Structure 1
Amino acid sequence: MDVISVVLFLLLAVVVSGALSRMMPISIPTPLVQIALGAIIGLSTSHRVALDPEIFLLLFLPPLLFLDGWRIPKDELLKDASTVVELALGLVLTTVIGMGFFINWMIPAMPLAVAFALAAVVSPTDPIAVSAIAARVPIPKRMMHILEGESLLNDASGLVCLRFAIAAALTGSFSAGDAALNFLWLAFAGIAIGVGVTLVVSRAKAWVTRRWGEETGSQILVSLLIPFGSYILAEHVHASGILAAVAAGVTMTFAEISREAMAETRMRRNSVWDTIQFTLNGIIFVLLGEQLPGILAEAKRTVALTGHTEPGWLALYTVAIVAGLAALRFLWVWLSLRFTILRNQYRGVDGPRRPNWRLVAATSFAGVRGAITLAGVLTLPLALNDGTPFPARDLAIFLAAGVIILSLILASVALPLLLKNLDMPAEANKAAEEDAARIVTAEAAIQAIERHQHDLAETHGHAERYAEAGARVMDLYRERIEALGAAEADSLRAQGALFRDFRMVGVAAERAALLTLLRSRKIGSEVGRKLTRELDLSEARLRA
């Protein structure tokens, strides 16, 4: 009963954190508020949430990584694929090796394998934390796409490196050749399983839907089970469950294109996944705060092995690690942009002659550590193979937590300053692409209506009635084609913005009138729910 109460308090803290972060006069990232609330819970109760590393890994990482792979914009990612790969793979490996040796040199009490494990978990970045920080100063779209792509890939690469580091700590040995072969199996088998599970499940779901119809609840549940199924199957054959979850999410995008679900299913599914993402990310940060008091006490004892007793050394270690990560990232981003400029010059592409230092600094500070870092470090084993406690586990968890907190604070201060009036490379205007797509879909709709109108007239007669109804609908589509194809497209888009403003005013008035009818009981609750849903759909369409 006590454990259930603590869990409910953690969930309540996640809910309250969002409101508190919006109420504060200064912009404080929601993750920092969640950590503070978790610490209050940890200090106010004697009960602690016992975290089993394997269960924690299974419950939190697969759905988060799956959703990242599913929702990341694929076309935008491909445009900057070379930059993303350089950051996600090259920078991660450099970080693991460089920071691993640095941490082991700085803290001799932490074995080299554990230092590599800590370096591996602090290498992945978290775009959700960056979005929370830059809520008042929007991040340029192209930079955000790069950060999202980097995060998706370095989550996988960092956690795979963590797996090797833990294996070395448990066995006490490491072979580069065996590790290379093992990595190939982990990567290719994990990706194949993720892709295969998603395709098989999608086809099976489509086959059932074609024959017996679609049930929204079961469709949503299937989407929730795919990442867990991919992860468990991959781990069962000793492949990478992390890569399987990421591959499953990426494949889900293409599987959905050819096997469309009902609109109601998609809307409800998006709402469910938004809630899951918010809850899991929030729970991870609240758990960090709840675990901090116990972690701090154990970390102090571990630091004492190095000959230091003052708690200030913990802060010094954290600052040194964050500084090392920032220096490596700044240097890597500068070199990456420098090589990109040289390639463009060689190809004759116009552009800047040298990297913009503000752009380099903003990209560097945007490498905030977040939920994946914490989830990864909490999966460190509790004991070695011989039953002895895992060395410096609490110190590693504390340092990872410190890196998360300090990187959030630094980014929340530096990013708004660096991003203000920052000149980014011009992005392609997608208005023409969108207009062309709307014209093509409208023309297809007109052709389909004409065929349907003709079929109804042949089957049921009354051709005039069907002709009149079809003509009214087709006129709407023809108006869209004429408007989008006109030379005054920009003016019409401006009028469209005014139209949306007036429609939003109308929707708000409809809501107020509907609420009055419900309160006076002039309409029943069922009618109220139906009309409310229609207004919700209208508002969502206007805000899109």
Structure 2
Amino acid sequence: MEGFTVEIFYSVALLIVAAIIANILYTIFPRIPLTFYQIGCGFLLTLLPLFRNYSLYPEFFMVGIIAPLMFNDGRTIDTGQMANAFAKIMSMAVYLAILTTIVIGTMAHAVMAVIPLALCLALAAIVTPTDSLALSSITENVTLPKAVSGALGALGGESLFNDASGIVVLSLALSAYQTGDFSFSQGLLSFIVNFFGGLLVGLIVGSLFVSLQSFLVGKSMDTASVIVPFSLMIPFAIYLISEELGCSGILAVVAGGLIYGINQSRLKLMATNVRLVTNATWGILSNLLNGIVFVLLGVTLPTVIVAIIPLSSTLILELSGLALLIYLTMGVVRFAWAKLNLVKIHGDRPSTFKEAFLIAVGGVHGTITLAMALSLPVTLAGHAFPYRDQLIFVATVVILLSLIIPAIVLPRMLPAKQVPNQDSFNHHRSKMVDYSIARIKELPTTTLADHNYVIDMLTSQKKSKRADKKAVRDLMAQTHDIEIQATTEVLSNDTSPNSLVTNCPAESPCTRLLGGAFGNASNL
């Protein structure tokens, strides 16, 4: 047992290291989307014996990855923008998602009748959710049309709710497969109980945690060591409580995140530094979990392929064809939905062909889709879960297609985003600092010491945040040469320090360095 625990520790640590390396590579070569670096690092991990035929517990993905990610999405979403775009969100996250699930599930079962309809619906529920973060990483270097940007801007709300609804549908589909009996009325009732029950539990439990946090703040216990761990605990507690009550833990986490975010957006007595630390911690955790999921994609894909190849020599091609058909079908459904003006990006005016096409291509799939696929149970009633590897493979190919095709198509259809000029940025920042300093000097109520302290802090903002490494190296090399030259002349010729300064060319580094150093020494 001890060796098993150590093995899990090492594997998770290596997954984190791989995610960090992917982030480093992305900062060096940002033209390639981050997700491809993460997948590549995961693929390289399979070269290690530890990651051959590697898999984590499926239950871990729901509570350990999906729950905190969904909570953070709910916590950070702009509720004002979500309210304004509520009609678009409902159109794409509920109506379009339900239609897509039915169409994809039915089509997949028709193409591969060997896979039961319940599992085809489970596959459809897995591949339907969109990923706003993955889309942002692809479109960050291009300029989207305003109308399309507004529609896809609502994608944060769309992905938040269709992720949750997709997880509920997945749970119902798996339940129908396990029991072998599916009743539409019973399924609808279960969906309503899971959906609205989860939201209700999340609202109630989330409000209790928010009230408890407000109590801690009111008692001056709002230190980072208290509030940050407290906020990290909330999604896990909400998820487990809701699941114990027989409701959707994911929807409860979404509702709890929304309540927490609304409370955070109000003016409270919590210290500013605690807010900053909390937001930074959640940002790091969210990015790390997203990275780990895509690293796991790179780790899992070779394992799944190795498991599928012995079943049939052509099965890989058949499943790849099914994945391509699913991706194209989802694109056609999204295109028709936008072209028929069911999303109303222009109000009553229909969308143009280009706008509808961009919305179709913008249906990028990512973290939640993969996490849902990997959350499929390994065993069922003591036997291996049927078609698990096949479903994971199809979902993986759909994810890759949804990442690769927009990365190729969008830069060719849209103009590149204008990158701010660094000199212009520094100029305007300097102007802002000068204006702030001038206004501070006009304040009559503060002491001179306070004036000077704030002015010094503002003046430091005018300096470049990143030194020119080449210039620093050149300056250090010149300094080293001058030091050797000066020391040699002092030892060999008994030259005074002042004569060394006078022999250096005017305004040279020698004059500035030696003059300052020996000038200070002569005052001792």
Superposition TM-score tier, normalisation by shorter sequence:
0.7 to 0.9
Mapped pair 1:299 → 2:308: yes
CA contact (8 A) 2:217 2:270 kept: no
Paired amino acid for 2:325: A
3-state DSSP class of the match of 2:341? Answer: helix
Give the distance between the partners of 2:182 and 2:390, measured in 1 at CA.
23
- Counterparts in 2 of 1:209 and 1:502: CA distance versus 1, 3 Å: closer
Correspondence for 1:210: 218
How far apart are residue 169 of structure 1 and its match? 1.2
> Which amino acid in the other structure matches residue 244 of structure 2?
H
Matches within 5 A, 1:253-264: 253-256=261-264, 257=266, 259-264=268-273
SS of match in other structure, 1:314: helix
Instruction: Give the secondary-structure state (helix, strand or coil) at the position aligned to 1:164.
Output: helix
Question: Residue 111 in 1 paired to residue 106 in 2?
Answer: no
- 1:220-269 CA-to-partner distances (Å, cap 9, x unmatched) read 11111111111111000110101001101111122221544210101111
Question: What does residue 469 of structure 1 align with?
Answer: 446
Match of 1:126 in 2: 131
Structure 2 counterpart of 1:322, from 300, 310, 327 = 327
Q: Give the RMSD, CA atoms, in angstroms.
A: 3.1
For residue 397 of structure 2, the aligned residue among 375, 396, 402 is 402
1:152-186 Cα offsets, whole Å, 9 max, x none, are: 11111111111111101111111111122222221
Matches for 1:62-101 after TM superposition, within 5 Å = 62-101=67-106
Paired position in structure 2 for 1:177: 185
CA distance in 2, matches of 1:209, 1:339: 43
Query: How far apart in 1 are the matches of 2:356 and 2:412?
Result: 13
Query: 1:363 maps to which residue?
Result: 359
User: Within 2, Cα distance between the matches of 1:187 and 1:337?
Assistant: 24
Counterpart code for 1:5: Y
Distance 2:459 2:121 in 1: 54
Label 1:467 to 1:157 Cα distance change in 2 as closer, same or farther (>3 A): same
How far apart in 1 are the matches of 2:302 and 2:221?
A: 53
Task: Pick from 368, 373, 379 the counterpart of residue 369 of structure 2.
Answer: 373
Deviation at residue 133 of structure 1 after TM alignment: 0.9
Query: 1:8: how far off?
Result: 2.2
1:215-230 maps to which residues of 2 (within 5 A)? 215-230=223-238
Matching of residues 199-348 of structure 1 within 5 Å: 199-256=207-264, 257=266, 259-301=268-310, 304=312, 309=314, 311-337=316-342, 344-345=347-348
Going from structure 1 to structure 2, the CA distance change for 1:261 and 1:111 (only over 3 Å counts) comes to same
**Equivalent residue of 1:136, what SS?**
coil
Task: Please state whether the residue corresponding to 1:311 is helix, strand or coil.
Answer: helix
SS at 2:99's partner residue? Answer: helix
Do the aligned partners of 2:331 and 2:361 also contact (CA within 8 Å) in 1? yes
CA apart distance, 1:421: 8.1
Contact 1:27/1:133, CA 8 A, preserved across alignment: no
Shift of residue 15, structure 1, vs aligned partner? 0.9
Once residues 313 and 504 of structure 1 are traced to their aligned partners in structure 2, the CA distance between those partners, rounded to angstroms, is 60
CA contact (8 A) 1:43 1:293 kept: no
> How far apart, in 2, do the equivalents of 1:70 and 1:229 lie?
15
Residue 57 of structure 1 aligns with an amino acid whose one-letter code is M
Q: What do residues 64-100 of structure 1 show as CA deviations (whole Å, max 9, x unaligned)?
A: 0011111111112222211111110111111111100
Q: Are the aligned partners of 1:60 and 1:280 in contact in 2 as well (CA < 8 Å)?
A: yes
Amino acid paired to 1:276: L
Shift of 1:301: 4.5
Residue in structure 2 matching 1:412, options 393, 407, 411? 407
The answer for the alignment partner of 2:425 in structure 1 is none
> Is residue 340–residue 350 contact of structure 2 (8 Å, CA) maintained in 1?
no
Mark the CA change 1:340 to 1:11 in structure 2 (over 3 Å): closer, same or farther: closer
After TM superposition, the structure 1 stretch with the greater mean CA deviation from structure 2, 153-162 or 173-182, is 173-182
Provide structure 1 residue ranges, at least 5 long, that are not aligned to the other structure: 346-352, 423-465, 475-499, 517-544
- Answer whether contact 1:190 1:244 (CA < 8 A) is retained: yes
Which residue of the partner structure matches residue 145 of structure 1?
153
**8 Å Cα contact 1:113-1:165 kept in structure 2:** yes
Give SS of 2:355's match.
Answer: helix
Aligned to 1:426: none
Residues 184-203 of structure 1 aligned to structure 2 (within 5 Å) = 184-203=192-211
**SS in structure 2 opposite 1:69?**
helix
Mapped partners of 1:373, 1:277: distance in 2: 16
State the secondary structure of the residue aligned to 2:402.
Answer: helix
Q: 1:32 aligns with which of 36, 40, 51?
A: 36
**1:52 maps to what in 2?**
57
Find the counterpart in structure 1 of residue 24 from structure 2.
19
Assess, with a 3 A threshold, how the Cα gap between structure 1 residues 195 and 419 changes in structure 2: closer, same or farther.
farther
Q: In 2, Cα distance between the equivalents of 1:238 and 1:208?
A: 30
Query: In structure 2, the residue corresponding to 1:363 is in which secondary structure?
Result: helix
Secondary structure of the residue aligned to 1:244 is helix
* Worse-superposed segment, 74-83 or 270-279: 74-83
Shift of 1:338: 7.4
Q: Secondary structure, in 3 states, of the residue corresponding to 1:191?
A: helix
Distance 2:388 2:466 in 1: 54
**SS at the partner of 2:250?**
helix
In the alignment, which residue of structure 2 is the partner of 1:159? Answer: 167
Q: 1:321 and 1:145 mapped to 2: Cα distance?
A: 24
Q: Could you tell me how far 1:340 is from its partner in structure 2?
A: 6.1
Letter in 2 for 1:291: T
Distance 2:134 2:268 in 1: 33
In 2: Cα distance, 1:174 partner to 1:126 partner:
30
1:262-317 alpha-carbon deviations (Å, 9 max, x no partner): 10101111111111011100000101111112211223345x3xxx6363333222
Structure 2, gaps ≥5 residues long: 1-5, 418-442, 452-457, 476-524
Change in CA separation of 1:283 and 1:158 when aligned onto 2, cut-off 3 Å: same
Q: Name the amino acid aligned to 2:400.
A: I
1:138–1:501 distance in 2 versus 1, CA, 3 Å:
farther
Question: Take 2:341 and 2:183, find their aligned partners in 1: how far apart are those partners?
Answer: 30
Per the TM alignment, residue 328 of structure 1 is displaced from its structure 2 partner at its CA by 1.4
Task: Give the match for residue 538 of structure 1.
Answer: none
Q: Is the 8 A contact 1:195 1:248 kept in 2?
A: yes
Checking the alignment, whether the CA contact within 8 Å between 2:132 and 2:364 is kept in structure 1 is yes
Question: 2: distance between equivalents of 1:279 and 1:253?
Answer: 21
Amino acid at match of 1:369: H
Question: 1:537 is matched with which residue?
Answer: none
Distance 1:71 1:217 in 2: 21
SS where residue 108 of structure 1 aligns? coil
Cα offset for 1:111?
1.3
Rounded to whole Å, the distance in 2 between the matches of 1:222 and 1:360 is 44
1:477 is matched with which residue?
none
Whichever of the two has the greater Rg, that structure is 2
- The SS at the match of 2:383 is coil
More displaced 10-residue stretch of structure 1: 107-116 or 396-405: 107-116
CA contact (8 A) 2:151 2:345 kept: no
Q: TM-score, normalised by structure 1?
A: 0.73
